[in-house]
Chains A and B, each alone.
Chain A
Amino acid sequence: GQQVMQIPQYQHVQEGEDFTTYCNSSTTLSNIQWYKQRPGGHPVFLIQLVKSGEVKKQKRLTFQFGEAKKNSSLHITATQTTDVGTYFCAGPGSGTYKYIFGTGTRLKVLA
């Protein structure tokens, strides 16, 4: 079946360092969404990318959708302790209405 994998699974960084998580789908996605889940919390929608090759920025966060619409990345510049949490990518599978969430990347930021 369709899978959405994220790497790395875990990442520990020193505060101020950059961080990137990669999302790879086994099939084409019509769009991709990114969510952040703080420890003990629920996923919160961050952004959606729709177009091939699209790049969007939110302050220190940069999101990119691959040309083939099968991969995406989230890059955080100069991490802060408030960035701690698990980042999930998600999207509907092509031709289906099932939402596929990625395996998630858990980020820890050391002060």
Chain B
Amino acid sequence: EAGVTQSPTHLIKTRGQQATLRCSPISGHTSVYWYQQALGLGLQFLLWYDEGEERNRGNFPPRFSGRQFPNYSSELNVNALELEDSALYLCASSLAGDRNQPQHFGDGTRLSIL
């Protein structure tokens, strides 16, 4: 069974640009979660999508947005990039929207802002 896949692996941008990160969940998983992990720090919850709908978002500004497609894959968009957006962005998927399901993580996209 293929795991959660994220692309690209690395992304280098400059301040003010826009970044798009992609995630494909495990087959059969309908929930996708996005997290930001700054170097050496914990995971900050960004967004949760289930069945194509945004279910919840963390304490991030509106320039962080995303969507989930009919095939349950997801995109995270970050507009007007700032230096502090440099981090590892992790995507996770789980079965349905049941809070009791474990999350399966991808390898992440490392976003560097110059």
Q: Which residues of chain A have a CB within 8 Å of any CB of chain B?
A: 1, 30-31, 33, 41-45, 48, 50, 88, 90, 92, 96-104
Contact of B43 among A41, A48, A92, A101 (CB under 8 A): A101
B→A interface (CB under 8 Å): 33, 35, 42-45, 48, 55-56, 58-59, 90, 92, 97, 99-100, 102-108
CA distance A102 to B43 in the complex (A): 8
Contact partner of B97 (CB less than 8 A), chosen from A45, A88, A97, is A97
Q: Closest 8 A-B residue pairs measured CB to CB?
A: A92-B99, A45-B102, A42-B105, A101-B43, A104-B42, A97-B56, A103-B42, A98-B56
**Among candidates A33, A96, A101, residue contacting B102 with C-beta atoms closer than 8 Å:** A33
**What are the residues of chain B within 8 A of A104 when measuring CB–CB?**
42
On whether the beta carbons of A48 and B100 are closer than 8 Å, the reply is yes
A96 in contact with B56 (CB, 8 Å):
yes
Query: Could you tell me the distance between the alpha carbons of A96 and B107 in the complex, rounded to whole angstroms?
Result: 27
What is the CA–CA distance of A88 and B42 in the complex, to the nearest angstrom? 8
User: Which chain A residue lies CB-closest to B57?
Assistant: A98
A44 contact set on B, CB distance < 8 A: 105
CB contacts (< 8 Å) of B42 on chain A: these are 88, 101-104
Residue of B nearest to A33 (CB): B102
Would A97 and B48 be within 8 Å (CB), given that A30-B99, A48-B102, A88-B42 are in contact?
Answer: yes
> With a CB–CB cut-off of 8 A, which chain B residues contact A102?
42
